[in-house]
Amino acid sequence: MDIYDWRKKIDEMDEAIVRLISQRAEAAKAIGMLKRETLAPVYEPDREQAVFNHVRAVNPGPLADSEMQHIYERIIDVMRTLQKREP
Q: Which domains does the chain have, with CATH numbers?
A: 3-84 (1.20.59.10)
Which pLDDT value is given to residue 48? Answer: 97
| Gap between the Cα atoms of 87 and 83, Å rounded | 9
Peptide bond into 60 cis (omega under 30): no
Q: Which helix (H) or strand (E) holds 53?
A: helix 45-58
Distance from first CA to last CA of the chain, Å, rounded?
46
Which pLDDT value is given to residue 87? Answer: 67
pLDDT tens digits, one per residue of 33-84: 999 999 999 999 999 999 999 999 999 999 999 999 999 999 999 999 999 9
Which pLDDT value is given to residue 9? Answer: 98
| Gap between the Cα atoms of 41 and 51, Å rounded | 17
pLDDT tens digits, one per residue of 16-35: 999 999 999 999 999 999 99
Q: Which helix (H) or strand (E) holds 32?
A: helix 3-38
